[in-house]
Amino acid sequence: MDQGDVEREILLLEFQEALIAIAEGGLDCQVRFRKSGGTWGEHFLQVLDASKGAVFYNHVTKEFVYVTDLAEIVQFQLNRQHGTIVPFVVYNVSPVKFM
């Protein structure tokens, strides 16, 4: 099975912490995501800030993308490994930990 065919779960807080680390570390790691009720973004985006909501930059369209509430993001992928987050694997973002 291709890694892109796998889906994994991640908590919203872990997702935010990863975005903050990517932004603050100036890492060459970009994110692509899908909001609730929406479709996948076409391009991977540079993470600029994720302390309150998130600010991303699209190098293809030269536009900034703002997400005021990270809870709107229900799935994401990274284009590079970051900690335990595997590139090109779909992660479902969960607001709470399930027992």
Closest by CA position to 56, among listed 72, 99, 89, 10 = 72
Q: Which residue has the tokens 């990863």?
A: 18
Whether residue 3 is predicted with pLDDT greater than 90 in this model: the reply is: no
pLDDT score recorded for residue 5: 61
Query: pLDDT digits over 40-52, tens only?
Result: 999 999 999 998 8
Distance between CA atoms of residues 23 and 39, nearest Å: 24
Residues of the chain with pLDDT > 70, as a percent, come to 92
Task: Indicate the pLDDT class of residue 92, thresholds 50, 70 and 90.
Answer: very high
Which residues have CB under 8 Å from 33's CB, separation 6+? 40, 41, 73, 75, 76, 77
Domain residue ranges of the chain, discontinuous segments joined by +: 3-94
Distance between CA atoms of residues 19 and 70, nearest Å: 10
pTM of the shown model? 0.88
Task: Indicate the pLDDT class of residue 1, thresholds 50, 70 and 90.
Answer: very low
